[in-house]
Amino acid sequence: MDRFDFPKPLVRVTAGPGGEAVLALCKEKTVLHDCGMACFHEELIKNIEKALDGRDLDYIVLSHSHYDHMGALPYLIERWPNVLVCGGKKSQEVFSRQGAKNTMLSMGKSAAQLYGKDPEQVHVDGIRIDIVLNDGDVLKLGENESITAIETKGHTDCSMTYLLKPYGILLLSESTGIVEETGNMHTSVLKSFEQTFDAAAKLKKLDFQYILVPHYGILDPQKNDTYFDTYIYEAKREKNLIEGWIKQGLSLDEIFEEHKKVYWNAVRAENHPYRAYKMNTEIIIKRMIAEQQK
């Protein structure tokens, strides 16, 4: 199965690198899951307008508050001012903090430069969460259609997965892994490996037919039964490697260099800015060093 062969009612509207932006054209309502980087907002809006074909954009649901998944949000709100933006309580808190918005702005501008776009067009004005979704909350989209929010911490505290019913489509957060074009999986843990293990175990129990993986697309359904077990295996391997380097007495910089030898490659570099990889990896290494020093 091609990873961009999305099942109905999904339409891929992704514009450029970054998180997948996927539109669900349900019978009564339309829902956009994530919106990618700010620097590709013009292409994204065109893709959405084409897919909507005259319909309105009713909802945006966010997997988390990182710049490569919500960067285009201000421009979508400008284009569809009545859209209702949904996400976790923590995302709402993040959007209210100037320091967090400054980081989003800085990362967004860096991405624009990397991909040959104008960094001066990047802004974070007007970002908001209109509907806070807690674990288990259901967003009604019509008589028989809905989205269930599932808290999946580990990548961030605000990470949310969504189950689109009755289609059985699981829209993952980054807490349960990212798949490369080659099919290799890597983790994206910033907060806690243990939280991601819990998230994977919880999602494995759900009734679903399709899995949308961040930065990848639709997983081959033949791999549904093994996906979350594979994630836990790979995450435990990475956790053990980092713990081993810490026990060897390696510094933060030395551990990062060892991590890079194992987990950074040309394929990953095509879809993930190095600055973001370095920053994210150093965050979890610092947390694990602090834990071992307690």
Question: pLDDT (tens digit, 9 = 90+) per residue, 203-214?
Answer: 999 999 999 999
Question: pLDDT (tens digit, 9 = 90+) per residue, 75-103?
Answer: 999 999 999 999 999 999 999 999 999 99
Average pLDDT over residues 126-145: 97
Q: Given a cut of 90, is residue 180 above it in pLDDT?
A: no
Q: How would you class 97 by CB atoms within 10 Å of its CB: exposed for 0-12, middle for 13-18, buried for 19 or more?
A: exposed
CA-closest candidate to residue 272, choices 205, 179, 172: 179
Q: Given a cut of 80, is residue 270 above it in pLDDT?
A: no
What is the pLDDT of the chain when averaged over all its residues? 95
pTM above 0.85, yes or no: yes
pLDDT at 276: 83
Residue located via tokens 């911490």: 153
Q: Given a cut of 90, is residue 13 above it in pLDDT?
A: yes
Q: Given a cut of 80, is residue 117 above it in pLDDT?
A: yes
Q: How far apart are CA 175 and CA 27, in angstroms?
A: 30
pLDDT at 246: 96
CA-closest candidate to residue 203, choices 158, 173, 178: 173
Which helix (H) or strand (E) segment holds residue 132: the answer is strand 131-132
What percentage of the chain reaches a pLDDT higher than 70? 100
Asked if the bond preceding 166 is cis, omega within 30° of 0, the reply is yes
Contact criterion met (CB below 8 Å) for 80 and 32: no
pLDDT at 292: 83
pLDDT at 260: 95
Average pLDDT over residues 170-175: 97
Q: How confident is the model at residue 184 (pLDDT cuts 50, 70, 90)?
A: confident
Average pLDDT over residues 176-181: 90
pLDDT at 18: 79
